[in-house]
C-alpha cells in the first residue's frame, strides 16, 4: 500500500500535458472485440481501471499488451467465458463488454459490475436497451446471461441520457443488419470519440454528440490505429488546483470545447484564462470568489466527475457557495475528510453549502473513491502544512501518476510506501 505526502501552501506555476481520457479509452478497448484484427491505441494511459479492463479482455481470450503508452489489442478468437465478479467487481465499465460481445458472438455472460461507491448506478438502461434489440436476458445468481441469437436492429428510447448505456448500445448495433437508432442518447465528448473509433474500423455511426444516434450495421470491421481524446476531467482537476492554491499554469493537450462548463465557472471565481486551440493558461492571484450555485448534470452541463474538485477549491472562497449533485446520491462522502483540514461544509441530501475559509491546514486524510480522492489532493496542495493521503489506489484508477502532474506545477506531492 502507498500514500501521498503533500507539503502545501505554495502557489503553483509551470505547465503540464493532459493524458488521454480514461472514460474514452475504456469503451474503445471494449469495442476492440468488434473486430478480429489487431488494434493499436496510442497514448493509452497507464491506469488501474485500464489494467482491470485488459484483464477482462485476456479472460475472454484476447491478446492485450501495453508497452509504455502504446496498447495493442487483438480479439481474433473470443472465448465466451463467464466474466466473474473477481474481474467485474473492480470496474464499473466492465458492463461495456456486453454490447461488443453480443454484436460479434451473440452470447455473453457477466457478473454485476463494481466501481466507486458514490451511489447507486443501476444497469437497468443497459438491459432495457439490449432487450429492445431482441436480446434475451436472465439474471442467474448474480450472473447476467445474454442470448442474442435472435438479435435485430431497432429503435431504443433511453429513459435517461446514460453515457454507459449509449456506448454499450452503439457497440451492440455495430454489426447488426439494418439501422439501430438510440433516442435520448448521451452527448458527452467520449460518445463522439467512441463513434470515431468504430468508424475508423469501418463502422457507420452517425449523430454522435446529438440526442439521436444512428448505427447502420456492417458485416465486418477491421483494425486501426487510434488515439483517444484528452481527459477533460484531468484537465479540470489541475485547473481547479491552481484556482485553489493560486499561481499560473499552462495546461496543454486539452479540447477547450470539452471543458467549457469548467472554464466559464473558473472565470466567475476570478481566474484569468488564456484559452488557445489546445491549451489553457490559468492565473489566479487571489482567493476564489464563491459560486452562488454549482449544479451537476449530464453534458453539456457541469460534470459530476468535477464536483468534488471544484468543491475542494470553493472551501477557500471568499464567501458561501451552494453545490447541488443531481446524478449520484453519495458523492459528498469526501467532505468529511475536507472538514479535517478546517473546511466548513454542511451537507443535506444532495446539496452542500460551503462556507469559504481563509486557509486550510494539513491533515491525515483517506480517499475512498476516485474523484473524491483527487479533491483531497487539490485541497492538500492549497493547504498550509503537510497532509498525508491514504487510499492512493482509488486515485490511480483515473490519474496517471498524479504526483508527477503536480510536481510539474511546482507542488510537493510524493508517493511513498505506507511503511515509510
- Beta bridge partner(s), residue 252: 17, 279
What is the structure's pLDDT at 187? 98
Digit-by-digit pLDDT tens for the chain (420 residues) are 899 999 999 999 999 999 999 999 999 999 999 999 999 999 999 999 999 999 999 999 999 999 999 999 999 999 989 999 899 988 878 888 999 999 999 999 999 886 555 444 578 899 999 999 999 999 877 899 999 999 999 999 999 999 999 999 999 999 999 999 999 999 999 999 999 999 999 999 999 999 999 999 999 999 999 999 999 999 999 999 999 999 999 999 999 999 999 999 999 999 999 999 999 999 999 999 999 999 999 999 999 999 999 999 999 999 999 999 999 888 999 999 999 999 999 999 999 999 999 999 999 999 999 999 999 999 999 999 999 999 999 999 999 999 999 999 999 999 999 877
94 and 121 fall within a common domain: yes
113 and 44 fall within a common domain: yes
**Can you list the pairs that 147-152 forms with residues at least 24 positions away whose Cβ atoms lie under 8 Å?**
147/106, 147/107, 148/102, 148/103, 148/105, 148/106, 148/107, 148/108, 149/106, 149/107, 151/102, 151/103, 151/106, 151/176, 152/176, 152/177, 152/178
Tell how many helices (H) and how many strands (E) occur in the chain.
Answer: 14, 23
What is the structure's pLDDT at 261? 97
* Residue-range definition of the domain harbouring residue 265: 2-19+230-417
Residue with cell 473486430: 35
What are the catalytic residues? 116
Number of folded domains that form the chain = 2
For residue 113 the three cell numbers come to: 459490475
Q: ∠ CA 364-340-251 to the nearest 5 degrees?
A: 75
What is the structure's pLDDT at 399? 98
SS3 (DSSP) at 172: helix
73 and 185 fall within a common domain: yes
Give the CATH number, domain containing residue 131: 3.65.10.10
148 and 198 fall within a common domain: yes
219 and 131 fall within a common domain: yes
Which of 226, 259, 286 delimits the end of a domain?
226
Q: State how far the Cα of 143 lies from the Cα of 221, in Å rounded to an integer.
A: 29
Residues in the chain, overall count:
420
Are the CB atoms for 118 and 328 separated by under 8 Å? Answer: yes
179 and 64 fall within a common domain: yes
Longest dimension (CA), the chain: 63
264 and 219 fall within a common domain: no
Which of 211, 226, 241 delimits the end of a domain?
226
What is the structure's pLDDT at 119? 47
- E strands, 301-378, in order: 320-324, 344-348, 351-355, 364-366
189 and 323 fall within a common domain: no
170 and 252 fall within a common domain: no
Whether pTM exceeds 0.85: yes
90 and 209 fall within a common domain: yes
251 and 297 fall within a common domain: yes
Which of 226, 251, 282 delimits the end of a domain?
226
What is the structure's pLDDT at 115? 52
196 and 275 fall within a common domain: no
Phi, psi of 245 (to 5 degrees): -95, -20
Amino acid at each position: 500500500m502507498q500514500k501521498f505526502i503533500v507539503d502545501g501552501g505554495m502557489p503553483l506555476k509551470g505547465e503540464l500535458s493532459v493524458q488521454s481520457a480514461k472514460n474514452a479509452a475504456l469503451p474503445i478497448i471494449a469495442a476492440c472485440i468488434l473486430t478480429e484484427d489487431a488494434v493499436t491505441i496510442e497514448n493509452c494511459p497507464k491506469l488501474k481501471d485500464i489494467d482491470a479492463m485488459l484483464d477482462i479482455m485476456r479472460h475472454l481470450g484476447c491478446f492485450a499488451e501495453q508497452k509504455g503508452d502504446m496498447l495493442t489489442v487483438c480479439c481474433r478468437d473470443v472465448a465466451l467465458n463467464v466474466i466473474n465478479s473477481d474481474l467485474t467487481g473492480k470496474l464499473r465499465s466492465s458492463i461495456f463488454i456486453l454490447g461488443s460481445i453480443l454484436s460479434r458472438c451473440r452470447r455473453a455472460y457477466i457478473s454485476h459490475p463494481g466501481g466507486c461507491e458514490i451511489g447507486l448506478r443501476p444497469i437497468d438502461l443497459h438491459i432495457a436497451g439490449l432487450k429492445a434489440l431482441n436480446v434475451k436476458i436472465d439474471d442467474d445468481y448474480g450472473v447476467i446471461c445474454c442470448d442474442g441469437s435472435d438479435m435485430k436492429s431497432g429503435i431504443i428510447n433511453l429513459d435517461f441520457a446514460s453515457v454507459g448505456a449509449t456506448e454499450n448500445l452503439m457497440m451492440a448495433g455495430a454489426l447488426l443488419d439494418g439501422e439501430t437508432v438510440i433516442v435520448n442518447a448521451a452527448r458527452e465528448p467520449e460518445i463522439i470519440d467512441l463513434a470515431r473509433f468504430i468508424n475508423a474500423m469501418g463502422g457507420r455511426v452517425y449523430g454522435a454528440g446529438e440526442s439521436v444516434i444512428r448505427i447502420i450495421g456492417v458485416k465486418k470491421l477491421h483494425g486501426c490505429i487510434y488515439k483517444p481524446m484528452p481527459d477533460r476531467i484531468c484537465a479540470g482537476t489541475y485547473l481547479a488546483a491552481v484556482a485553489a492554491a493560486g499561481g499560473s499554469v499552462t495546461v496543454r493537450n486539452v479540447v477547450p470545447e470539452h471543458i467549457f462548463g469548467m472554464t466559464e465557472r473558473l472565470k466567475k471565481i476570478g481566474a484569468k484564462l488564456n484559452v488557445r486551440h489546445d491549451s489553457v493558461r490559468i492565473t489566479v492571484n487571489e482567493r476564489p470568489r464563491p459560486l452562488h450555485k454549482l449544479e451537476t448534470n449530464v453534458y453539456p452541463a457541469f460534470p459530476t466527475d468535477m464536483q468534488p474538485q471544484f468543491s475542494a477549491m470553493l472551501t477557500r472562497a471568499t464567501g458561501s457557495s451552494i453545490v447541488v449533485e443531481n446524478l449520484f446520491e453519495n458523492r459528498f462522502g469526501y467532505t468529511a475528510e475536507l472538514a479535517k483540514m478546517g473546511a466548513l461544509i454542511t451537507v443535506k441530501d444532495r446539496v452542500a453549502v460551503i462556507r469559504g475559509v481563509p486557509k486550510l491546514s494539513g491533515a491525515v486524510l483517506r480517499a475512498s473513491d476516485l474523484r473524491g480522492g483527487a479533491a483531497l489532493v487539490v485541497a492538500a496542495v492549497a493547504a498550509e502544512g503537510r497532509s498525508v493521503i491514504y487510499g492512493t489506489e482509488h486515485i490511480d484508477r483515473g490519474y496517471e501518476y498524479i504526483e508527477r502532474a503536480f510536481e510539474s506545477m511546482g507542488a510537493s506531492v510524493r508517493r511513498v510506501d505506507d511503511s515509510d
